[in-house]
Chain A
Amino acid sequence: MFRAKLPPWLVLLLPAFIIILAVVAIPLILSLYSSFTPYHLTRPDTLWKWTGSFNYIKAASDANFWKAFGRTVLLLTIALNTEMLLGLGLALMVSKVTRGQRALRTAMMFPMMFSPILVGFQFKFIFNDNVGLVNNALQSLGLTDVAIPWLVDGNLAMFAIIFAEVWTSTSVFAILILAGLFAIPQDPLEAAKVDGCTPWQSFRFVTLPFLMPFIYIAMAIRSLDVARAYDIVQVMTNGGPARRTELLWTLIGRTGYVDARMGYANAMGYIAILMSIGFTIYFFLKLQTARRELGMGEM
C-alpha cells in the first residue's frame, strides 16, 4: 500500500496552502498573466497569445484611462476630506451629548447599513432633473425656474456622486473619531485649560494631535473603499454622461465585461490597485508618524 512520507510540518500546513492557492494565488497569477495577453472573453484562445507590456502601454497612453484615474483621485481627495471634516464635527457634537448618546451613535450609523446600490438609486431619484426632490424643492422655494440637470452636467453629476458618497460614509469617520475622543486622557486637557488655552486652542493643540492616529486609520480604510468605487456611480450615472463621471473601476468593469477585453481590463486593474496600495502606504506612514508624535511607539 502506498503511504505518503510527507514531513509533518508540510501535512499540517497543506490545508492552508491549498486554500490560499485556490482562493488567492491562482486567480491572482492568472489575472496578472492575462494582463500580458490580448485575452478577450469571447475568444478563449487569445489567452495563449503573449503580448508583453502592450496592454500597460496602451493604458498609459489612453486619455480616457488617465481621465478616469484623475477623477478617482479627485473623488478620493474631496470625499475623504469632506467626510473627515463632517465626521469630526459630528463626533465632537455627539461626544458632548450626555443623554441618549447610545441611540444617537446607532442612528448615526444608519447610512452605513444600506446597500450602496440602493443609496445610488435613492440619490438618482433625489437628483433627477424632472421628478427629483432637489429640483422640486429649489423650484418650490423659488430659487430657480429651470430644472437643473444634476446628473447630466458633468460637474454637477460628479458633485451628486460625491454627495451620495459622503452621505453614506461620513459615519465611518464619525464613529472612529468618536472612539478616539473617548480614548483621550482628560488630564492633559485640564492642564491645557489651566495653562491658559481657550476651548479652540485646547482642541487644536491637545485634542487634535490625539485624534490624528484615528483619523489616519479612518483615511486608510476609506481610501481603499473609495478607490474601488463602482456601485454608486454605476447606478447613478453609469459613468456618463459621455464618460464625464467615469471612474477607474467603472471603466475597468465596462472594458472587461461589456467590451469583453479582459486582458486590457486586468492591466488597468493592476494600475488601479497600485494606486490603492500607494494611498494605503501614504496614510499608514502618516499614522505611524502621528503615533510616534504621541509616544505610542512603533506598530
Chain B
Amino acid sequence: MAQVQLKNVVKKYGALGVVHGVNLDIAEGEFVVLVGPSGCGKSTTLRMVAGLEDITGGDIVIGDRVVNDLPPRERNLAMVFQNYALYPHMTVRENLGFSLKIAKKSQPEIDRAVDEAANILSLTPLLDRKPGALSGGQRQRVAMGRAIVRQPEVFLFDEPLSNLDAKLRTQMRVEIKKLHQRVGSTVIYVTHDQIEAMTLADRIVIMRDGHIVQVGTPLQVFENPVNTFVATFIGSPPMNLLDGTVQAGQVVLADGTTIPLPPGLHIADGRRVQFGVRADNIMPEGHALPPTAHMAFVDMAVTLTEPLGTETLLYATLAGTEIQAKMLNPRPVSPGETMRFGVALDKCHIFDADTGLNLRG
C-alpha cells in the first residue's frame, strides 16, 4: 500500500495539451475514481501513473519515490484494462501467475497465490481454460485476478466494466468494492460512468478538458457541485437548469414565473443566473417528501412519464425548458395534465449564467 501524489502533472502530444497541471493527493488505501466525459484526460492521467505514458511536466510520487522516469515494471502497481488485455496464448492459471513467474518467484509460491486469487474471484473451475473460451465477465475477473496476485501497492483500473452488459456491470461493481475492502490497497479507478464513480469511490475526481473540476466524496460532489458541469454530470437524472434573472430575492424565469432564491443566498438584482434543482427536489404535491421549511410551488404541464416502479419520472415544461421531476407513490398521470410541484429550495443551487460557477461558493 502506498500513497500517490500527482504534482502539477502535465501531458502534451506535441503542441496539443491533454492534461494541464493536475494536482491530486491520494491517501494510502483510498479508492479514488477519476470520472469525466471522453477526452477529458482521465485515462491519460491513469496511464501516466502506470508509466505507460511519459509525463511532459510535473511529478508523480508513489509511496515516497518520484517515479517520473521509472518504467512500469519498477512502479509496483497492477492495472486492469478496459479490454481485459489477457494473454490469449496462456491459460487462466498462466495469466494469473505470469507476473510472479517474471518476478522469479518459486513455483509453490506462484501456485499458492494463483489458487488464492482464483478462490476470491471464483475462477477455480476455469483455471485451465484459455481466455478465448471465457465470457466477458469471466475475462474481467481474470484481469482482476492478475492484478490481485501481484499484491501491488496501487491498483489501477481503466474503465474495467465498460465492455460488460448492464447486469454484469452491477455485479462486478460490487465485486470490485468487496475486493477493495478485502485487500485495502490504494485504488485509482477511471470511468465515464458517474454511477460507478458514486458507488465505488471514497473520493471522486471530476475532470474536464484536462483539468480537475472538483474533488470530493460522492455526497459532497452530489450535494455541492462547484459548477453546472458537475451538477449535470453527477447524479441521474442530471440536475435541471433554468435560465433566469435575479429580481428582489427571486429568480425570474423567461416566462415571468418567479422562484425565490434558496435560503441564505444574497445576489444582486439583475444578475443572470441558472436555477438548479434535482428531480428529487421537485415533486408533485401529494406525491412528495414531507415539505421542508423553504418550499416554493410551480404549476407545470406533464409531457411524458417514465414509470420506474417505486417512483415515476415526470417530464414537464417550465418556462420553455424541459425538466424532470420525481413522483413518489405514483399514480397514473396522463400527458397534458397540469400538476402543482413543490420545490425544496434549501436543496437548490444558483449558478452564474456566464461562468457556470455555483454561487453558494
A: residues with CB less than 8 A from B are 185, 187-188, 190-198, 201, 205-206, 209-210, 293-297
Contact = CB atoms under 8 A, between A and B. Distances in A.
Contact of B102 (A190, A197, A209, A296): A197
Nearest to A212: B89
Interface in B168-225: none
Contact of B131 (A209, A295, A297): A295
Nearest to A196: B73
B236 to A, nearest CB: 30
Given A187-B83, A295-B130, A295-B133, A194 B98 contact: no
A192 B52 CA distance: 11
Nearest to B83: A187
A193 B72 contact: yes
B81 A191 contact: yes
Contact of B81 (A187, A205, A294): A187
B77 A194 contact: yes
Contacts of A209: 87, 89
A293 B132 CA distance: 10
Nearest to B52: A190
Q: What are the 3 closest A-B residue pairs judged by CB atoms, nearest first?
A: A295-B132, A187-B85, A195-B99
A212 to B, nearest CB: 9
B88 interface: yes
A268 to B, nearest CB: 41
A295 B89 CA distance: 7
Contact of B79 (A191, A201, A210): A191
Contacts of A190: 52, 79, 81, 85
Nearest to A295: B132
Interface centre among A187, A190, A194, A195 (most CB of B within 10 A): A194
Given A193-B71, A297-B132, 20 more contacts: A185-B83, A187-B85, A188-B87, A190-B81, A191-B79, A191-B81, A191-B85, A191-B146, A193-B51, A194-B52, A194-B73, A195-B98, A196-B103, A198-B73, A201-B102, A205-B102, A206-B87, A293-B89, A295-B89, A296-B132
Interface in B60-91: 71-73, 77-79, 81, 83-89
A297 B130 CA distance: 12
Interface string B328-356: 00000000000000000000000000000
Interface centre among B50, B83, B98 (most CB of A within 10 A): B98
Interface of B: 50-52, 71-73, 77-79, 81, 83-89, 98-99, 102-103, 130-133, 146, 150, 156
A196 B89 contact: no
A15 to B, nearest CB: 43
Contacts of A195: 73, 78, 98-99, 102, 146, 150
Secondary structure of the A side of the interface? helix
A294 B98 CA distance: 16
Nearest to B81: A187
B150 A294 contact: no
Contacts of B89: 209-210, 293-295
Contacts of A193: 51-52, 71-73
A196 B132 CA distance: 24
A197 B81 contact: no
Contacts of A296: 132
A297 B133 CA distance: 10
Contacts of B103: 196
A205 B98 contact: yes
B131 A194 contact: no
Contacts of A297: 132
Contacts of B83: 185, 187
Nearest to A198: B73
Nearest to B101: A205
Given A194-B50, A196-B99, A295 B88 contact: yes
A185 B132 CA distance: 14
B102 A194 contact: no
A258 B188 CA distance: 78
A209 B84 CA distance: 18
B35 to A, nearest CB: 22
A194 B51 CA distance: 8
A231 B356 CA distance: 78
Contacts of A293: 89
Given A194-B50, A194-B73, A195-B98, A188 B150 contact: no
Contacts of B99: 195-196
B91 to A, nearest CB: 10
Contacts of A194: 50-52, 72-73, 77-79, 156
A202 to B, nearest CB: 9
Contacts of B73: 193-198
A194 B153 CA distance: 12
A209 to B, nearest CB: 4
Contacts of B130: 295
A209 B131 CA distance: 15
A295 to B, nearest CB: 3
A70 to B, nearest CB: 35
B251 to A, nearest CB: 50
B79 A294 contact: no
A210 B89 CA distance: 8
Contacts of A206: 87
Interface centre among A188, A197, A293 (most CB of B within 10 A): A188
A187 to B, nearest CB: 3
B81 A196 contact: no
A293 B51 CA distance: 29
A294 B85 contact: no
A243 to B, nearest CB: 46
Nearest to B134: A295
A203 B230 CA distance: 44
